[in-house]
Chains A and B, each alone.
Chain A
Amino acid sequence: MDVRFTSAGDTAFNVEFGEAVDRATNARVMALHARLKGAPPLGLVETVPTFRSLLVVYDPLTSGRREMQAAVETALAAATAATEPGRLWRLPVCYAPDLGPDLVEVADALGLTAERVAALHGSSEYFVYMLGFMPGFGYMGDLVPELERPRRTEPRLRVPAGSVAIAGRLTTVYPWESPGGWHLIGRCPVPLYDAGRTDPILLAAGDRVRFDPVDRAGFDTIAAAVDASQFDPGRLRAA
């Protein structure tokens, strides 16, 4: 299959697997990412998986474009898409209008009830295509077509941390308070970034996520446990 190498200066290049944003394309990205991570060529600094390409970052004083590209081509030939499935997380989410201030607006725009939007959002397993925008921000797909909405025309200046949001065919949980243009439909009480954890960032590209609806009391109970440092995020790992 055709793979395109594009230059990102003298410290990196992209390996592009086409233009499509889909699971099959992303699986090839993740396979090469895993392969290079498992057996890094001399001079490799890191690789950054995205929807349809892998950024290969290298040290030009240790290696060079020619050598690194050759090493990546070798790894490509050996990379198999059948990598281990990523971890499955079950993230609690409360779909209450005060925690998801766009829920009603989204429902109205889609001709659905708020309850139906929540039910549809909570009914799928999502795949973490990549992380970016800010540390730990996962681009998860694929949202059911019934929930597809373009991003807000006016991005918010402050989106609260934990906000569960949708845009296009994607969903996410904001790990930090930040600006943001996605529609906020709920809130997750467990922080996706916690400096106190061994691995501060919960999600990794290739992981899978299910959203478990909780009511307001459930949300408050989990939030209180998190505040008291009595919540083990390991509980969110499904088998």
Chain B
Amino acid sequence: MMAANPTAFLTVVRPGLFATVQDLGRFGFQELGMPVAGALDPLALRLANALVGNPAGNKDCAAALEIALLGPTLRVEATSVRIAAVGPLAVAVEREGQALQPLEPHRSHTLVQGDILRLGAVDGASVAYLAAAGGFALEPVMGSLSTYVRAGIGPLGGRPLGQGARLPLARDAAPSGPETGLPQLPDYGSGPLRVVLGPQDDRFTEAALATFLSTAYRVGKQADRMGLRLEGPALMHRGSADIPSDGLVTGAIQVPGNGQPILLLNDHQTIGGYAKIATVISADLPRAGRLRPGDSLSFQAVTVEEAEAIRRRQEQAIAGWIGAIRPVRPAGGIDLDALYAENLISGTVDIVNGGSDLPLV
């Protein structure tokens, strides 16, 4: 999805607080010390992309804007663009001569030249995602469009969206066809985060392991894309907390000498020298990535085989949610905006594709 339309942009009117471009991560360079980065909530990333017709697979998911804290305000500088936001934030569009109009969440919307898209505060999870049909026309760095802010690696100079930045769009116009929506929100699961013990569970006392698996922890104030400091009863090591540094994965729970666990997220360092008591299973990483300071969490141990089975079932569920994406009937009857946008592009309303939700006019 490379630069096809160098004149199509989302231009940053106000940058918000921390919006970065992310895909599923930059794999293959950890041996050089390069963190994987990538979306904290890959499930929401995939659904946002699926809603606008982008690749949304487990390996080939398009990049989207990951929005933390407070979203940006963006002006459409393209004939039209189809967007979808997934996650807990309010979205509204300001169109010249019209009142600010809230956009229904978890469905696609087509915006036209000059529209101003306002993304609100993220509330209820750490992040939300904004995908654009066709994706962003950005140059991958080491094969990925993920942004690793600490080292300034990734598209847009490896930085969060800044004032006046232009997010180039791969398409100059929205695709034809109806808007689509998620019939129901995805199920992230609930209850304890499931973990596989290790790789250094033998470095902890029996009491520490029992405490770890039976206590509610709280996410502390120090929480970012690198990891979450957890507050709770200290976990005692057998001997030292230090190990010869070894490789880290997202979801690893390392415990430094003070006994307070740190749950590592996507921007974690590639290697670390603290003993790791357990690793959150891959199926529960989207839920871990959504945690915010003050949230409480607990852990439950499963075997690797159980984790694999859970992950396979989850992937089937995701395929089901993506497969259930349907054309949406606009609230209140005719979606004049969508019709207008489609007419701009194709010159006619596509009755075949739009027949199920667009009333004949």
Contacts and interface: CB of A to CB of B under 8 A. Distances in A.
Interface in A1-50: 6-14, 16, 19, 21, 33, 45-50
Nearest to B270: A132
A7 B271 contact: no
Contact of B28 (A46, A49, A201): A46
Contacts of A88: none
Interface stretch (B6-14, B80-88, B117-125, B276-284): B276-284
A32 B311 CA distance: 28
Interface residues on A, range: 35 or more
B199 A8 contact: yes
Interface string A61-87: 100111000000000000000000000
B33 A134 contact: yes
A61 B311 contact: yes
Contacts of B153: 135, 195
26 contacts: A6-B198, A7-B196, A7-B199, A8-B276, A9-B251, A10-B281, A10-B307, A10-B311, A11-B249, A14-B199, A14-B246, A14-B247, A45-B27, A48-B30, A52-B244, A55-B247, A55-B249, A60-B282, A61-B312, A61-B315, A131-B31, A133-B33, A133-B271, A134-B269, A136-B32, A200-B142
A196 to B, nearest CB: 12
Contacts of A50: 244-247, 271
A12 B33 contact: no
A176 B151 contact: yes
Nearest to A206: B31
A200 B141 CA distance: 10
Contact of A9 (B33, B200, B279): B279
Interface residues of B, number: 46
A78 B64 CA distance: 42
Given A50-B271, A64-B308, A201-B34, A12 B249 contact: yes
Contacts of B141: 195
A205 interface: yes
Given A7-B199, A9-B282, A46-B27, A201 B245 contact: no
A134 B312 CA distance: 33
Interface string B175-205: 0000000000000000000011111100000
A21 B29 CA distance: 23
Closest 3 CB pairs of A and B: A55-B247, A9-B279, A132-B271
A125 B359 CA distance: 76
A120 B312 CA distance: 56
Given A49-B31, A57-B30, A135-B153, 10 more contacts: A7-B198, A7-B279, A8-B196, A8-B248, A9-B251, A9-B279, A59-B59, A60-B308, A60-B311, A176-B151
